[in-house]
Amino acid sequence: MAGSNFDIRQRISAVTDRVPAVRKHVPSLGIGDRLPFYRRLSGGQRFAYRLLLPALAAMTIVHFIPILWGLTISTMGVDLTYASHWYDAPFVGLDHFRYVLGIENFDDVLVSDTVVGERYRNALKNSVIFSVGTLVVTYVLGLTAALVLNQKFKGRFVARTLLLLPWVAPVVVSLYVWRMMFTQQGIINQTLLTIGLIDEPMFFLIGDNSMWALIFAHSWTQFPLVMIFLYAGLQSIPKQLYEAAAIDGAGRWGKFRYVTMPQLKPVSAVIVLLMLLWTMINYTAPFVLLGGAPPKQANVAILYIENYAFGNSQFGRGAAMSVVLFLIAMVMAMVYYRYLFDDETTGAGA
């Protein structure tokens, strides 16, 4: 362990030793010297920040400013009247948050005081179900496919290409095909009727089944990505570990349980984080599959926010809803990241 840290330090110093030579080519306006924070940094750290600057500048324009603007208008009464001069809209403090979360009075915060609050809470709950459901389905499908591809068999290359198709195909096209298949007269109902599993056509896009349809169709477009992650993880597991496990008497299940899954833990952690967050803010799948009037069972937060904010021109309230969703996603990410970080430092992930 100490040896590997030493290697890393050596490699870092090999780079930083060359910093002065490279620094000459990096333009500086001397702005940094006026910033106390920047003045305290070492030469190497300053250089690192300069290299990060273009990416940070782009992120500021694309991400940070819109987030700040969203935060700002979530406290202002911005509707269509004020859309072109939002800065004139009245300041409403946290009123929008109280309204969209249904906490007009604090008698019982678990019960929404407003209809919109009740629907928004339902949409948040649906988003969580959608995210967790998609994670489970994509992980199971992705792991199964990765394990199969990790075997040596004839036509492995063709199989790998075919399994990537759902991810490579334009997502809107894939989802429209799913939408057509899920209708009452679609191929899924016809197949189930033909083989006698159901007596009459089912609704997949309305009612209780709509969430399952949404999870399945979205998972279909996403599982190849999970498969690629896990396949790469499987490829990097040293064969010696399997040999050692075999010597210890482990069978197929034992090897999977005690070698494969622990070794896949780091990549699985990344998958869990990404799939949860990406699904929570995914707009394409719910919109294409369920349209502008989604059933309440599958009306996820991102779709509800868009329909509410733009359908009703209530941009301030829509921003408040977005801020809540953003905070939930951030908290989830932070908790998970903290858990992961702690886990790694205690050596469980090694």
Partner 1 sequence: MVSKTRRKFLKVSGAATAFGLAGCLQDGGSGALQTQYMDTPGYEDFFSKHTSKFEEETGIEVEYDFVGWGDAKSTMQSNMTAKSGPDVHEIASTWIPAQVEAGGWMDLRDEAAAQQLPDTSNYPSGALEVGQFDDMLVGIPWYWGPRAWQESGPKMDEAGIEGSPENWDELVSQGTAYNEVTSDGDYFGAMSGGIEPGRNFAMFLWQNGGSLLNEDNSAPAFNSEAGVEAMNFYKDLIVEHEIIPEASLDWESSGLQSAFAGGEVASTWGALSMTNAYADADGNSRDELRVSAPPKGPDGDSGTFFGMELLGIASWSNKVEEAAQWIDYLAQPEVNAELADIAGFLPPTSGGMNTELYSDPFYETFDEEVFPAAKTYPQVRGWGEIETEIYQTATDILNSAVTGNWSEGDTKSALDDAASVAEEALNN
Q: Which residues bind partner 1 (CB under 8 A)?
A: 79-81, 83-84, 114-116, 183-185, 201, 203, 205-208, 291-293, 295-296, 307, 310-314
Between 185 and 345, CB nearer to partner 1 = 185
Between 14 and 293, CB nearer to partner 1 = 293
What single letter denotes the amino acid at residue 200?
Answer: E
Distance CA 177, CA 238 (A): 41
- Return the H-helix or E-strand segment holding 103: none
Between 70 and 262, CB nearer to partner 1 = 70
Distance CA 305, CA 323 (A): 11
CB of 314 to partner 1, least distance (A): 7
CB of 92 to partner 1, least distance (A): 11
Distance CA 253, CA 260 (A): 10
CB of 304 to partner 1, least distance (A): 10
CB of 186 to partner 1, least distance (A): 9
CB of 119 to partner 1, least distance (A): 9
Between 222 and 307, CB nearer to partner 1 = 307
Distance CA 11, CA 342 (A): 26
Q: Nearest to residue 317, comparing CAs of 65, 115, 107? A: 115
Distance CA 90, CA 82 (A): 9
Q: Going by C-beta distance under 8 Å and a sequence separation of 6 or more, which residues neighbour residue 131?
A: 275, 276, 277, 279, 280
Between 70 and 201, CB nearer to partner 1 = 201
State the angle between helix axes of 187-194 and 171-182 in degrees (0 to 180), rounded to the nearest 10.
40
